[in-house]
Chains A and B, each alone.
Chain A
Amino acid sequence: MFKRLPEAQAEVMVNPVRVTVNGMEVVCRNGDSVASVLFVAGILACRDTPVKGTPRGPFCMMGVCFDCLVNIDDVPNQQGCMVLVKPGMKIERQQGLREVQT
């Protein structure tokens, strides 16, 4: 569980950016990264690993751990912490092992 500080919440009110996360609409601040939006939306795990299907969430928030991989607009393997939200963006959990095994 994460929350925005009042300063960020104020910016969301003034200039909301609407995206969907796993089909659910989420209102973001212009300047949020996809990973930060997942946190605020109550999502801790953004993917399952391809090796053992273990749930993982963003770990380093600076683009070096590659744990924050998500599907963005149907393109997989996007680093959520390095991509800023855009209106209408579709963000989805990345199924690692399940994909590899089908």
Chain B
Amino acid sequence: MRNIVTSDVIVIGGGLHGSSTAMNLAKAGAEVLLLEKNYVGRHASGVNAGGVRTLTRHMAEVPLSLASQQIWANIQDHVDDDCGFEICGQMRVAEHEADVKTLRDRLALMQSKGYTHEEWVEPADVCKMIPSIVPTIKGGLIARHDGAADPYRTTLAFRRKAQQYGADFREGVTVHQVAKRNQSWWVDTDAGQFQSRVLVNCAGAWADKIAAQFGEFVPLKAVGPMMLVTTRMPHFLETVVLGTSRPLSFKQRANGTVLIGGGHLAWVDRNRDVTELDFHALSKGAKTVCELFPHMRNAVISRGWAGIEASMPDGIPVIGPSGVEENLFHAFGFSTHGFQLGPVVGQIMKDLILSGTTDLPIEPFHISRFS
């Protein structure tokens, strides 16, 4: 008979949110065991665009995002790694008047709430900041303290720090079933049985399967946002550029390669961890890039990929305690924009688990909004 491994807290899912949760818990002295079905950072966390963005977030996310940005500013101290984080600003650009209105309305909304981190940029200034952008650009909305980091490196840094604090990470362990018996969580995996007092569901695109085992049904959809990367090019861009009315995320990295994303979706089979890139959709994205940055026509695409991410119908994640079970917590469904929130979500989960409460307003993220 195999031994049952016991821990105070079990975290399911070794993406950024799971690793950040484990790190914060371990730092506070909790006994943490993390179970990851592939390897840490295998899915969305390791292959996203690395955008560290507060810009144009859903209103509910803004306080969390601003809090997370404080952590990012000191990420080196936080996880002993600079994570490749660079503050280069992120800007949503207006291609036409309708875009201008969208962005200006947004600015007005933010200002009415007392937020100052998003600013309007006049067309002439956009062209000065980004000389290679099409000169007919109509302006932009910028968050100057936003930037970008290396997603895989970041996830690994949180994992390493968590392990330094004593967290136990097990990779290649797939959770099959979870049940509550006598105030304990019993987790059945293909590597044996695990037991804990507290269970944290950070299972990303598979988190609904965990939640469903307690009757907490969430309409999660596994999506595969696609990315393309080019070969190294002469430096032409510092800021991260986003589209307003059509999907675009456009960034040149320090090594000269250009990352193109934005939200066009691949075909996904989350049961086999397989995606297939949709070249028709990628073609639309390529067209967007070429129209905004005409010189990119000759850029050479060297690779394409798609991570598997969890998308929620209202576009915001599930963060918080379970609606039906004690000592069960959720942090998933980041709908392709969870990377920047990783640092703060780990702290929120730690606060919820160890003190029962958090300062940050997480009510809009409660899982019960779907029941």
Contact = CB atoms under 8 A, between A and B. Distances in A.
Interface of A: 50-51, 75-77, 96, 99-102
Contacts of B300: 77
B231 interface: yes
B232 to A, nearest CB: 4
B232 A100 contact: yes
Contact of B256 (A50, A75, A77): A50
A100 B256 contact: yes
A50 B298 contact: no
B231 A102 contact: no
B233 interface: yes
Interface of B: 231-235, 256, 298, 300
* Listed residue (A51, A76, A77, A100) with the most chain B CB atoms within 10 angstroms of its CB: A100
Q: Give the secondary structure class of A's interface.
A: mixed
B138 to A, nearest CB: 30
Contacts of B232: 50-51, 96, 100
Interface of B is mostly: loop
A76 B234 CA distance: 13
A32 B233 CA distance: 30
A78 to B, nearest CB: 10
19 contacts: A50-B231, A50-B232, A50-B256, A75-B298, A76-B298, A77-B231, A77-B298, A77-B300, A96-B232, A99-B234, A100-B232, A100-B233, A100-B234, A100-B235, A100-B256, A101-B234, A101-B235, A102-B234, A102-B235
Nearest to A75: B298
A39 B234 CA distance: 28
A86 B340 CA distance: 52
Contacts of A50: 231-232, 256
A50 B255 CA distance: 9
Contacts of B231: 50, 77
A101 B256 CA distance: 8
A99 B234 CA distance: 6
Contacts of A77: 231, 298, 300
A30 to B, nearest CB: 28
Nearest to B256: A100
Contacts of A75: 298
B257 to A, nearest CB: 9
Query: Which 6 residue pairs of A and B lie closest in terms of their CB atoms, listed nearest first?
Result: A50-B232, A100-B256, A100-B232, A77-B300, A99-B234, A102-B234
A88 B140 CA distance: 45
Contacts of A99: 233-234
B105 to A, nearest CB: 40
A96 B255 CA distance: 12
Contacts of B298: 75-77
B132 to A, nearest CB: 14
A101 B300 CA distance: 17
Nearest to B232: A50
A94 B256 CA distance: 16
A47 to B, nearest CB: 12
A46 B300 CA distance: 18
